[in-house]
Amino acid sequence: MGEYMVWVWLALLVLFIITEIATVQLTTVWFAGGALIAMLLAAFGVKSITVQVIVFLAVSIVLLIATRPLVKKHINKKSQPTNADRSIGQNAVVTEEINNLEGKGAAKVNGVEWTARSESGTVIPAGTTVTVVKIDGVKLIVR
């Protein structure tokens, strides 16, 4: 029974690689590594399928734990800077009283009017000049 396990692990390796190529999301690459090691064990005479499966799982988990944080950090750089990011640090004029509790307020920066909220939660009257500290979705956060 153990002789054909090389082919089973090879088939799984190919399946994981094809899945990885098709998804481009780094979802099965760790299992491909585990299948490769299990295939090598089977090829070099380890007949116990239990040992092969345990090594497959162990290698896959170690690869996942060791590389996933690096991969996530690299992949999550998808945020695209926009022209709106240039508004951070600039002055804006409050065009509608900013009141976080009532969920209202607007400010104009660079000729564009935005929904605005106070960073500290204080009410800011219309006509006040404020500084944009960040952009949260479609809202300016000002102080």
Where residue 74 falls among pLDDT bands split at 50, 70, 90?
A: low
What's the confidence (pLDDT) of residue 79?
55
Structural domain ending residue among the three candidates 25, 54, 75: 75
Q: How many domains does the chain have?
A: 2
d(CA 143, CA 116): 10
**Mean pLDDT computed over every residue of the chain:** 89
Domain that holds residue 12: 2-75
CATH code, 95: 2.40.50.140
Whether 128 shows a pLDDT value over 80: the answer reads yes
Can you give the pLDDT at residue 44? 94
Answer for the pair 52, 5: CB distance below 8 angstroms, yes or no: yes
Query: How confident is residue 133, by pLDDT bands cut at 50, 70 and 90?
Result: very high
Are 90 and 128 within one domain? Answer: yes
Q: Give 80's pLDDT tier (boundaries 50, 70, 90).
A: low
Per the listing, tokens 């290698």 go with 59
Residue 81 has what pLDDT? 58
Q: Using CA atoms, how far apart are residues 41 and 58, in angstroms rounded to an integer? A: 13
